[in-house]
C-alpha cells in the first residue's frame, strides 16, 4: 500500500496571513519531506495541523487510509491516536523526568521489562546511554535534541514530524547533528516531515520538498530540483538565487576538495568527514565574470563558458553561464556593458573555493 499524506486545509488567523495549503506528499519509500519557507510562512501551522494540535477551519487531512481531519464531517482525530513522533523547535523535554524517564514517558501499555528494554535500545541508538539519569536542565542543546528525538521515536511512530529540528543549536553542532539526523532517519525507515527555513538543512535532509510562502504551497519537488530550477520568481526569492548542482569529491588535498561536476572540476573548501557525494551551492553574488585571457586572481575557480541567458533585475543582472554546468552570476548592469556581454559571448566565471558550499548527501 502506498504511504501518503493528502492535505487540503484552510486556517485563518486574526494576526497573520491565512494558511491555504494543498499538498500531496508521497511517503513511499520512507522518505524525508521538507516544508521549506521563511519564518511566518505557515509551515509550522501545517505541521501542527498534521499533529492534531491545531484545528484547520476547513478542509481535510488524510494519512494513508485514515482520515485525520475532515471539517465537513467534524472528524478530528486527537494527537494521541495519530501515532506520531512530534518534536517541537525547543524540544519541550519534561523537566520533572530524567532522560530515561522522558524516553519512557510515551511507552504506555508495555510491561516494565519491555519498557526498560525499549528505553535502553533508544538510548543506545542515539548514543546517549551515559545521560540516562540526567535531568533535561543539565544537558547541552545537542544532547537535548537527541533526547527529544529519542522520545519521539521510542513509540515506533508511523510518521515523524520535526519542527526546525536543528535551529536551536549553535552552528558547529548543527552541522554535525544534521548529518547524524540524516543517517538516523534512513536507519529508522519512518517517513518524516521536517520544517526548516535553512536551505543547507533542506538539501542535506530532504528527499522531497514543498516551498511554503505566505501560507501557500509554491512548488513541490526534490530539493535539488527546486533550488536549481525554482519555478517562479517568488520561489527563487524564497530559496535565494543559487547555483545548486550535484558533484562527486575526487580528491582532498590541503583541506581543498576537488569536486567533479559533469566534465568540470571545481575547487572547494573541504569540511572534515566529507563524503564522496555532495551538492554544491554557489551564491550568485559570489561569482564574478571576466573576459577570457585576463590575468590570475585569488579565486581558485576559473571556468570558461558561454553566456547562456541574461535576465535584468533592476540595477543588477543575472547572467547564467554554461561552463559544463549552468552557473548563475549576479553582476551590475554597468559591468555587463563594460564587458560587452551578450548571449553566446565567451566569458570566464570566477569564484573562490570558500564560496562553494558543499552539502553531503
What pairing do the DSSP bridges indicate for beta strands 277-283 and 242-253? antiparallel
Q: Give dist(CA 287, CA 115) in Å, integer.
A: 56
Q: How far is the CB of 53 from other proteins (least distance, A)?
A: 5
Backbone angle region of 127, left / alpha / beta, with phi > 0 → left and psi within -120 to 50 → alpha: left
| Per-residue CA distances from 207 to 24, 37, 138, 225, 335 (Å) | 14, 16, 35, 11, 39
Q: Which of 22, 66, 94, 309 binds other proteins (CB under 8 A)?
A: 94
Nearer to other proteins, 161 or 181 (CB): 161
What phi, psi does 144 have (nearest 5°)?
-60, -40
| Residue 78 engages other proteins in binding (rule: CB under 8 A) | yes
The binding track of 26-55 with respect to other proteins, each residue x by CB under 8 A or -, is: -------------------------xxx--
Nearer to other proteins, 52 or 56 (CB): 52
Q: Which of 106, 312, 344, 354 binds other proteins (CB under 8 A)?
A: 106
Q: Which of 26, 79, 221, 324 binds other proteins (CB under 8 A)?
A: 79
- C-beta of residue 152 within 8 angstroms of C-beta of residue 92: no
What phi, psi does 149 have (nearest 5°)?
-65, -40
Q: Which of 84, 235, 321, 350 binds other proteins (CB under 8 A)?
A: 84
- C-beta of residue 106 within 8 angstroms of C-beta of residue 155: yes
Q: How far is the CB of 231 from other proteins (least distance, A)?
A: 33
Q: Which of 41, 45, 88, 192 binds other proteins (CB under 8 A)?
A: 88
Cα angle 162, 36, 193; round to 5: 30
* Per-position b or e across 123-142, b if 16+ CB within 10 A of its CB: bebbebeebbeebbeebeeb
Q: How far is the CB of 39 from other proteins (least distance, A)?
A: 17
* Per-position b or e across 279-318, b if 16+ CB within 10 A of its CB: bbbbbbbbbbbbeeeeeeeebbbbbebebeeeeeeeebbb
Chain centre to alpha carbon of residue 175 = 12
Q: How far is the CB of 88 from other proteins (least distance, A)?
A: 5
Nearer to other proteins, 82 or 352 (CB): 82
The binding track of 132-161 with respect to other proteins, each residue x by CB under 8 A or -, is: -------------------xx--x-----x
Q: How far is the CB of 149 from other proteins (least distance, A)?
A: 12
The one segment of 26-34, 85-93, 257-265, 308-316 that binds other proteins by CB under 8 A: 85-93
| Residue 90 engages other proteins in binding (rule: CB under 8 A) | yes
| Per-residue CA distances from 98 to 34, 229, 352 (Å) | 31, 47, 48
The one segment of 76-84, 305-313, 321-329, 343-351 that binds other proteins by CB under 8 A: 76-84
- C-beta of residue 194 within 8 angstroms of C-beta of residue 33: yes
Residue 65: CB atoms within 10 Å: 7
The one segment of 26-34, 84-92, 207-215, 295-303 that binds other proteins by CB under 8 A: 84-92
Q: How far is the CB of 112 from other proteins (least distance, A)?
A: 16
What pairing do the DSSP bridges indicate for beta strands 301-313 and 346-351? antiparallel
Nearer to other proteins, 16 or 83 (CB): 83
Reported as type and span, the H/E element at residue 333 is: helix 333-338
The one segment of 90-98, 200-208, 283-291, 313-321 that binds other proteins by CB under 8 A: 90-98
Q: Which of 86, 199, 227, 325 binds other proteins (CB under 8 A)?
A: 86
- Where along the sequence are the contacts to other proteins (CB under 8 A)? 51-53, 78-86, 88, 90, 92, 94-96, 105-106, 108, 151-152, 155, 161
Amino acid at each position: 500500500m502506498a504511504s501518503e499524506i493528502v492535505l487540503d486545509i484552510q486556517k485563518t488567523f486574526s494576526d497573520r496571513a491565512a494558511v491555504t495549503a494543498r499538498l500531496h506528499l508521497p511517503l513511499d519509500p520512507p522518505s524525508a519531506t521538507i516544508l521549506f519557507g521563511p519564518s511566518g510562512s505557515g509551515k509550522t501551522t501545517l505541521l501542527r495541523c498534521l499533529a492534531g494540535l491545531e484545528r484547520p477551519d476547513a478542509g481535510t487531512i488524510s494519512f494513508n487510509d485514515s482520515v485525520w481531519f475532515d471539517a465537513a464531517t467534524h472528524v478530528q482525530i486527537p494527537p494521541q491516536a495519530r501515532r506520531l513522533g512530534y518534536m517541537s523547535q525547543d524540544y519541550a523535554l519534561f523537566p520533572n523526568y530524567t532522560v530515561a524517564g522522558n524516553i519512557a514517558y510515551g511507552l504506555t501499555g508495555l510491561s516494565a521489562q519491555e519498557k526498560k528494554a525499549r528505553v535502553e535500545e533508544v538510548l543506545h541508538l542515539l548514543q546517549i546511554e551515559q545521560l540516562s539519569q540526567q535531568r533535561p536542565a543539565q544537558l547541552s542543546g545537542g544532547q537535548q535534541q537527541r533526547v527529544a528525538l529519542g522520545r519521539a521515536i521510542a513509540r515506533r511512530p508511523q510518521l515523524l514530524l520535526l519542527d526546525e529540528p536543528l535551529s536551536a543549536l549553535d552552528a558547529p553542532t548543527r552541522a554535525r547533528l544534521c548529518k547524524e539526523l540524516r543517517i538516523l532517519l534512513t536507519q529508522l525507515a519512518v517517513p518524516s516531515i521536517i520544517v526548516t527555513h535553512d536551505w543547507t538543512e533542506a538539501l542535506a535532509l530532504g528527499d522531497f520538498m514543498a516551498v511554503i510562502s505566505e501560507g501557500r504551497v509554491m512548488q513541490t519537488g526534490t530539493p535539488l530540483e527546486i533550488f536549481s530550477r525554482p519555478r517562479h520568481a517568488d520561489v527563487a526569492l524564497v530559496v535565494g538565487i543559487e547555483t545548486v548542482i550535484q558533484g562527486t569529491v575526487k580528491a582532498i588535498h590541503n583541506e581543498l576538495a576537488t569536486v567533479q561536476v559533469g566534465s568540470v572540476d571545481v575547487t572547494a573548501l573541504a569540511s572534515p568527514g566529507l563524503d564522496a557525494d555532495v551538492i554544491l551551492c554557489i551564491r550568485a553574488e559570489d561569482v564574478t565574470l571576466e573576459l577570457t585571457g585576463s590575468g590570475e586572481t585569488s579565486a581558485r575557480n576559473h571556468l570558461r563558458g558561454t553566456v547562456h541567458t541574461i535576465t535584468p533585475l533592476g540595477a543588477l543582472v543575472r547572467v547564467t553561464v554554461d561552463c559544463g554546468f549552468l552557473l548563475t552570476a549576479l553582476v551590475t548592469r554597468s559591468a555587463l556593458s563594460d564587458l560587452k556581454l551578450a548571449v553566446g559571448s565567451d566569458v570566464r566565471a570566477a569564484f573562490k573555493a570558500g564560496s562553494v558550499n558543499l552539502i553531503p548527501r
